[in-house]
Protein backbone atom coordinates (compact mmCIF):
# COMPACT_ATOMS: atom_id res chain seq x y z
CA UNK A 1 0.00 0.00 0.00
CA UNK A 2 1.76 3.11 -1.20
CA UNK A 3 -1.38 5.24 -1.50
CA UNK A 4 -2.01 5.75 2.20
CA UNK A 5 -0.52 8.46 4.43
CA UNK A 6 2.91 7.92 5.91
CA UNK A 7 2.82 7.83 9.70
CA UNK A 8 5.98 9.98 9.67
CA UNK A 9 4.15 12.72 7.73
CA UNK A 10 1.20 12.76 10.13
CA UNK A 11 2.91 12.35 13.51
CA UNK A 12 5.65 14.96 13.34
CA UNK A 13 5.99 15.92 17.02
CA UNK A 14 8.58 13.23 17.76
CA UNK A 15 10.30 10.32 16.01
CA UNK A 16 8.04 7.29 15.63
CA UNK A 17 9.83 3.96 15.66
CA UNK A 18 9.50 0.20 15.49
CA UNK A 19 11.48 -2.58 17.11
CA UNK A 20 12.96 -4.80 14.42
CA UNK A 21 15.21 -7.71 13.54
CA UNK A 22 17.76 -7.44 10.73
CA UNK A 23 15.38 -9.45 8.50
CA UNK A 24 12.80 -6.69 8.77
CA UNK A 25 15.13 -4.25 7.03
CA UNK A 26 14.88 -6.35 3.85
CA UNK A 27 12.34 -6.55 1.01
CA UNK A 28 8.78 -5.43 1.62
CA UNK A 29 9.33 -5.20 5.37
CA UNK A 30 12.18 -2.76 4.84
CA UNK A 31 10.04 -0.70 2.46
CA UNK A 32 7.15 -0.54 4.93
CA UNK A 33 9.54 0.41 7.73
CA UNK A 34 11.27 3.24 5.87
CA UNK A 35 7.97 4.49 4.43
CA UNK A 36 6.28 5.05 7.78
CA UNK A 37 8.88 5.28 10.53
CA UNK A 38 11.66 7.64 11.58
CA UNK A 39 13.35 5.52 14.25
CA UNK A 40 14.20 1.89 14.94
CA UNK A 41 15.12 -0.17 17.97
CA UNK A 42 16.98 -3.47 17.49
CA UNK A 43 14.62 -5.80 19.37
CA UNK A 44 17.32 -8.26 20.45
CA UNK A 45 20.50 -7.50 18.50
CA UNK A 46 22.06 -5.20 21.11
CA UNK A 47 21.29 -7.26 24.20
CA UNK A 48 24.23 -8.64 26.15
CA UNK A 49 23.82 -12.24 24.92
CA UNK A 50 24.10 -10.96 21.33
CA UNK A 51 26.96 -8.47 21.79
CA UNK A 52 29.20 -10.19 24.37
CA UNK A 53 28.32 -13.89 24.39
CA UNK A 54 31.67 -14.81 25.98
CA UNK A 55 33.73 -12.60 28.26
CA UNK A 56 35.48 -9.78 26.40
CA UNK A 57 34.55 -11.34 23.05
CA UNK A 58 32.33 -8.84 21.28
CA UNK A 59 30.07 -9.55 18.32
CA UNK A 60 28.20 -6.98 16.29
CA UNK A 61 27.13 -9.36 13.53
CA UNK A 62 23.43 -9.05 14.40
CA UNK A 63 23.31 -5.32 15.05
CA UNK A 64 25.71 -3.85 12.46
CA UNK A 65 23.60 -4.54 9.32
CA UNK A 66 20.54 -3.20 11.06
CA UNK A 67 22.26 -0.01 12.10
CA UNK A 68 23.77 0.42 8.64
CA UNK A 69 20.23 0.19 7.22
CA UNK A 70 19.03 2.80 9.72
CA UNK A 71 21.83 5.19 8.72
CA UNK A 72 21.21 4.68 5.01
CA UNK A 73 17.51 5.42 5.49
CA UNK A 74 17.93 8.32 7.91
CA UNK A 75 16.31 6.52 10.83
CA UNK A 76 17.27 7.31 14.41
CA UNK A 77 18.42 4.34 16.48
CA UNK A 78 17.41 3.55 20.06
CA UNK A 79 20.00 1.26 21.63
CA UNK A 80 18.35 -1.47 23.70
CA UNK A 81 19.73 -2.36 26.18
CA UNK A 82 23.04 -2.18 28.07
CA UNK A 83 21.97 -3.76 31.39
CA UNK A 84 19.15 -6.22 32.03
CA UNK A 85 18.54 -9.32 34.13
CA UNK A 86 17.33 -11.27 31.07
CA UNK A 87 19.18 -12.24 27.88
CA UNK A 88 22.44 -11.87 29.76
CA UNK A 89 24.88 -14.80 29.49
CA UNK A 90 25.46 -16.92 32.60
CA UNK A 91 29.18 -16.10 32.67
CA UNK A 92 28.40 -12.52 33.67
CA UNK A 93 26.98 -13.73 37.00
CA UNK A 94 29.61 -16.43 37.60
CA UNK A 95 32.38 -15.83 40.13
CA UNK A 96 36.13 -16.37 39.74
CA UNK A 97 35.73 -20.01 40.84
CA UNK A 98 32.97 -20.69 38.30
CA UNK A 99 30.10 -20.68 40.82
CA UNK A 100 27.02 -18.42 40.82
CA UNK A 101 27.92 -15.05 42.30
CA UNK A 102 27.13 -14.31 45.92
CA UNK A 103 27.26 -10.89 47.54
CA UNK A 104 30.95 -10.49 48.36
CA UNK A 105 33.25 -7.50 47.89
CA UNK A 106 35.30 -9.48 45.37
CA UNK A 107 32.22 -10.32 43.28
CA UNK A 108 31.02 -6.73 43.48
CA UNK A 109 34.29 -5.52 41.96
CA UNK A 110 34.25 -8.28 39.33
CA UNK A 111 30.65 -7.66 38.26
CA UNK A 112 31.10 -3.88 38.05
CA UNK A 113 34.31 -4.37 36.02
CA UNK A 114 32.45 -6.63 33.59
CA UNK A 115 29.66 -4.09 33.33
CA UNK A 116 32.07 -1.24 32.66
CA UNK A 117 33.97 -3.25 30.05
CA UNK A 118 30.72 -4.18 28.32
CA UNK A 119 29.46 -0.62 28.08
CA UNK A 120 32.86 0.77 27.04
CA UNK A 121 33.00 -1.62 24.12
CA UNK A 122 29.39 -1.64 22.92
CA UNK A 123 28.67 2.08 23.30
CA UNK A 124 32.05 3.03 21.77
CA UNK A 125 31.51 0.71 18.79
CA UNK A 126 28.44 2.75 17.75
CA UNK A 127 29.40 6.21 18.97
CA UNK A 128 26.97 8.86 17.75
CA UNK A 129 25.14 6.37 15.49
CA UNK A 130 23.07 5.50 18.55
CA UNK A 131 21.50 8.71 19.80
CA UNK A 132 19.59 7.15 22.68
CA UNK A 133 20.41 4.23 24.99
CA UNK A 134 18.15 2.25 27.26
CA UNK A 135 20.99 2.07 29.77
CA UNK A 136 19.19 -0.09 32.33
CA UNK A 137 16.02 -2.10 31.76
CA UNK A 138 13.37 -3.24 34.25
CA UNK A 139 15.21 -2.57 37.53
CA UNK A 140 12.03 -1.80 39.53
CA UNK A 141 9.98 -4.28 41.56
CA UNK A 142 7.35 -2.36 43.46
CA UNK A 143 6.55 -5.37 45.66
CA UNK A 144 9.95 -5.00 47.36
CA UNK A 145 10.23 -2.64 50.33
CA UNK A 146 12.87 -0.52 48.55
CA UNK A 147 11.21 -0.90 45.13
CA UNK A 148 14.24 -2.61 43.60
CA UNK A 149 14.18 -5.83 41.59
CA UNK A 150 16.06 -8.68 43.29
CA UNK A 151 18.35 -9.52 40.35
CA UNK A 152 21.94 -10.69 40.68
CA UNK A 153 22.91 -7.13 39.73
CA UNK A 154 21.12 -5.88 42.80
CA UNK A 155 22.17 -8.71 45.11
CA UNK A 156 25.86 -8.16 44.40
CA UNK A 157 26.07 -4.36 43.92
CA UNK A 158 22.83 -2.85 45.31
CA UNK A 159 22.38 0.39 43.31
CA UNK A 160 25.99 0.61 42.18
CA UNK A 161 25.33 -1.23 38.91
CA UNK A 162 22.93 1.52 37.91
CA UNK A 163 25.33 4.26 39.01
CA UNK A 164 28.20 2.66 37.09
CA UNK A 165 26.11 2.00 33.98
CA UNK A 166 24.97 5.60 33.57
CA UNK A 167 28.31 7.13 34.51
CA UNK A 168 30.27 4.98 32.05
CA UNK A 169 27.65 5.39 29.29
CA UNK A 170 27.88 9.17 29.64
CA UNK A 171 31.65 9.03 29.37
CA UNK A 172 31.68 6.77 26.30
CA UNK A 173 28.63 8.23 24.52
CA UNK A 174 28.58 11.86 25.67
CA UNK A 175 25.97 12.96 23.12
CA UNK A 176 23.50 10.12 23.69
CA UNK A 177 20.29 10.46 25.69
CA UNK A 178 20.53 8.01 28.58
CA UNK A 179 17.26 6.35 29.57
CA UNK A 180 16.02 4.16 32.42
CA UNK A 181 13.35 1.90 30.92
CA UNK A 182 10.57 -0.12 32.54
CA UNK A 183 7.12 -1.68 32.04
CA UNK A 184 3.82 -1.10 33.88
CA UNK A 185 4.92 2.43 34.75
CA UNK A 186 1.23 3.39 34.66
CA UNK A 187 0.72 1.33 37.85
CA UNK A 188 0.98 3.91 40.65
CA UNK A 189 3.18 1.85 43.00
CA UNK A 190 5.59 1.01 40.20
CA UNK A 191 5.59 4.53 38.80
CA UNK A 192 6.30 5.97 42.25
CA UNK A 193 9.16 3.52 42.93
CA UNK A 194 10.73 4.47 39.59
CA UNK A 195 10.24 8.16 40.33
CA UNK A 196 11.92 7.81 43.74
CA UNK A 197 14.90 5.98 42.26
CA UNK A 198 15.42 8.50 39.46
CA UNK A 199 15.05 11.45 41.86
CA UNK A 200 17.58 9.95 44.27
CA UNK A 201 20.18 9.09 41.64
CA UNK A 202 19.86 12.41 39.80
CA UNK A 203 20.32 14.21 43.13
CA UNK A 204 23.61 12.32 43.42
CA UNK A 205 24.59 13.56 39.98
CA UNK A 206 24.09 10.27 38.12
CA UNK A 207 23.45 11.24 34.46
CA UNK A 208 19.94 9.87 33.86
CA UNK A 209 18.41 11.94 31.05
CA UNK A 210 15.04 10.31 30.82
CA UNK A 211 12.46 7.71 31.67
CA UNK A 212 11.33 5.08 29.15
CA UNK A 213 7.78 3.78 29.45
CA UNK A 214 7.46 0.44 27.67
CA UNK A 215 3.63 0.67 27.34
CA UNK A 216 2.85 -2.99 26.70
CA UNK A 217 -0.90 -2.54 27.11
CA UNK A 218 -4.12 -4.15 25.92
CA UNK A 219 -7.49 -3.07 24.55
CA UNK A 220 -8.97 -2.74 28.07
CA UNK A 221 -6.04 -1.50 30.16
CA UNK A 222 -4.90 1.05 31.20
CA UNK A 223 -7.09 4.12 30.71
CA UNK A 224 -5.90 7.30 29.05
CA UNK A 225 -6.24 9.09 32.41
CA UNK A 226 -3.97 6.54 34.10
CA UNK A 227 -1.46 6.91 31.28
CA UNK A 228 -1.58 10.68 31.55
CA UNK A 229 -0.94 10.43 35.31
CA UNK A 230 2.12 8.31 34.48
CA UNK A 231 3.49 11.11 32.29
CA UNK A 232 2.56 13.89 34.73
CA UNK A 233 4.37 12.16 37.59
CA UNK A 234 7.79 12.67 35.99
CA UNK A 235 7.36 16.25 34.81
CA UNK A 236 8.70 17.79 38.07
CA UNK A 237 11.96 15.85 37.60
CA UNK A 238 12.65 17.70 34.36
CA UNK A 239 13.61 14.48 32.56
CA UNK A 240 12.68 13.61 29.02
CA UNK A 241 10.17 10.78 28.55
CA UNK A 242 9.94 8.22 25.78
CA UNK A 243 7.41 5.57 24.85
CA UNK A 244 9.79 2.73 24.10
CA UNK A 245 7.93 -0.54 23.41
CA UNK A 246 4.28 0.15 22.74
CA UNK A 247 1.93 -2.59 21.64
CA UNK A 248 -1.78 -3.13 22.28
CA UNK A 249 -2.79 -6.75 22.78
CA UNK A 250 -6.23 -7.78 21.52
CA UNK A 251 -6.56 -9.97 24.64
CA UNK A 252 -7.95 -8.81 27.96
CA UNK A 253 -6.49 -11.70 29.98
CA UNK A 254 -4.41 -14.87 29.64
CA UNK A 255 -7.41 -17.17 29.20
CA UNK A 256 -8.51 -15.71 25.86
CA UNK A 257 -7.34 -17.05 22.51
CA UNK A 258 -8.66 -16.36 19.00
CA UNK A 259 -7.54 -18.12 15.81
CA UNK A 260 -7.85 -14.75 14.03
CA UNK A 261 -8.40 -11.25 15.42
CA UNK A 262 -12.16 -10.52 15.73
CA UNK A 263 -13.36 -7.30 14.06
CA UNK A 264 -14.66 -5.82 17.32
CA UNK A 265 -11.24 -6.27 18.97
CA UNK A 266 -9.48 -4.60 16.03
CA UNK A 267 -11.85 -1.67 16.32
CA UNK A 268 -11.35 -1.39 20.08
CA UNK A 269 -7.60 -1.49 19.43
CA UNK A 270 -7.90 1.32 16.89
CA UNK A 271 -9.53 3.52 19.50
CA UNK A 272 -6.77 2.75 22.00
CA UNK A 273 -4.06 3.69 19.48
CA UNK A 274 -6.01 6.80 18.51
CA UNK A 275 -6.48 7.97 22.08
CA UNK A 276 -2.97 7.09 23.28
CA UNK A 277 -1.26 8.77 20.33
CA UNK A 278 -3.43 11.84 20.85
CA UNK A 279 -2.33 11.88 24.50
CA UNK A 280 1.34 11.55 23.56
CA UNK A 281 1.03 14.32 20.99
CA UNK A 282 -0.57 16.62 23.59
CA UNK A 283 2.51 15.90 25.74
CA UNK A 284 5.00 16.50 22.94
CA UNK A 285 6.87 18.87 25.23
CA UNK A 286 7.83 15.98 27.50
CA UNK A 287 7.94 13.08 25.04
CA UNK A 288 10.89 12.77 22.67
CA UNK A 289 10.03 9.52 20.91
CA UNK A 290 7.35 6.86 20.52
CA UNK A 291 8.38 3.34 19.48
CA UNK A 292 6.16 0.33 18.76
CA UNK A 293 7.46 -3.10 19.75
CA UNK A 294 7.31 -4.49 16.24
CA UNK A 295 6.58 -3.56 12.65
CA UNK A 296 3.64 -5.84 11.77
CA UNK A 297 1.60 -8.66 13.28
CA UNK A 298 3.62 -11.32 11.43
CA UNK A 299 6.38 -10.88 14.03
CA UNK A 300 5.36 -10.01 17.57
CA UNK A 301 6.77 -11.25 20.86
CA UNK A 302 3.19 -11.47 22.20
CA UNK A 303 2.65 -14.62 20.10
CA UNK A 304 4.60 -16.46 22.81
CA UNK A 305 4.29 -14.15 25.84
CA UNK A 306 2.70 -14.45 28.38
CA UNK A 307 1.15 -17.54 26.72
CA UNK A 308 1.32 -19.00 23.22
CA UNK A 309 -1.55 -17.74 21.04
CA UNK A 310 -1.79 -15.54 17.96
CA UNK A 311 -1.89 -11.88 18.94
CA UNK A 312 -2.26 -8.84 16.70
CA UNK A 313 -0.91 -5.88 18.67
CA UNK A 314 0.57 -3.62 15.95
CA UNK A 315 -0.55 -1.24 13.17
CA UNK A 316 -0.07 -3.59 10.20
CA UNK A 317 -1.44 -7.13 9.85
CA UNK A 318 0.35 -10.38 9.03
CA UNK A 319 0.15 -9.47 5.30
CA UNK A 320 1.61 -6.02 6.09
CA UNK A 321 -1.71 -4.33 5.32
CA UNK A 322 -2.82 -1.31 7.33
CA UNK A 323 -5.21 -2.20 10.17
CA UNK A 324 -7.92 -0.06 11.80
CA UNK A 325 -5.20 0.71 14.41
CA UNK A 326 -3.13 2.38 11.66
CA UNK A 327 -6.11 4.59 10.78
CA UNK A 328 -6.52 5.40 14.46
CA UNK A 329 -3.01 6.87 14.36
CA UNK A 330 -3.11 8.71 11.02
CA UNK A 331 -6.78 9.78 10.93
CA UNK A 332 -7.82 10.38 14.53
CA UNK A 333 -11.19 11.95 13.62
Residues that bind ligand XIL (CB under 6 A): 43-44, 137, 214, 245, 301
By beta carbon distance, the residue nearest ligand XIL is: 301
**Least distance in Å: CB of 202 to ligand XIL?**
22
**Least distance in Å: CB of 9 to ligand XIL?**
27
Using the minimum distance from each CB to ligand XIL, give the nearer residue, 52 or 245: 245
Helix (H) or strand (E) holding 77: strand 76-83
Helix axes 160-172, 188-203, angle to 10 degrees: 60
- Answer for the pair 87, 48: CB distance below 8 angstroms, yes or no: yes
**Least distance in Å: CB of 214 to ligand XIL?**
6
- Say what the alpha-carbon torsion angle 301, 304, 310, 311 is, to the nearest 10 degrees: -40
Using the minimum distance from each CB to ligand XIL, give the nearer residue, 136 or 330: 136
Residue 222: cis peptide before it, omega within 30 degrees of 0: yes
- Answer for the pair 62, 45: CB distance below 8 angstroms, yes or no: yes
Residue 73, CA distances (Å) to 11, 15, 34, 37, 125 in order: 18, 14, 7, 10, 20
**Least distance in Å: CB of 80 to ligand XIL?**
6
- Answer for the pair 272, 219: CB distance below 8 angstroms, yes or no: yes
173/189 Cα distance (integer angstroms): 32
Using the minimum distance from each CB to ligand XIL, give the nearer residue, 281 or 299: 299
- Say what the alpha-carbon torsion angle 197, 199, 203, 208 is, to the nearest 10 degrees: 80
**Least distance in Å: CB of 181 to ligand XIL?**
6
Using the minimum distance from each CB to ligand XIL, give the nearer residue, 49 or 95: 49
The strand pair at 210-213 and 240-249 is best described as parallel
**Least distance in Å: CB of 295 to ligand XIL?**
12
> CA angle 267-271-277, nearest 5°?
140
Using the minimum distance from each CB to ligand XIL, give the nearer residue, 6 or 149: 149
Using the minimum distance from each CB to ligand XIL, give the nearer residue, 109 or 221: 221
Catalytic residues: 138, 245
Q: What are phi and psi of 137, to 5 degrees?
A: -125, 125
Amino acid sequence: QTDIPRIRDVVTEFPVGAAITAAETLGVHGELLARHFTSVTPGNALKWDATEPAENSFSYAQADPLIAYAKANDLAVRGHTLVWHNQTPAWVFTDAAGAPMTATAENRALLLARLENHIRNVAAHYGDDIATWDVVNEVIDESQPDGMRRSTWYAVTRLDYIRTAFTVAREVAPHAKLIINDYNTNVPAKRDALFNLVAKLRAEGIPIDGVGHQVHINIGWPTVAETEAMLQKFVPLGVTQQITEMDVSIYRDNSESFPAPPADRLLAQAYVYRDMLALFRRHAGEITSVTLWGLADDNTWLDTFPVTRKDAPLLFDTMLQAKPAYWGVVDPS
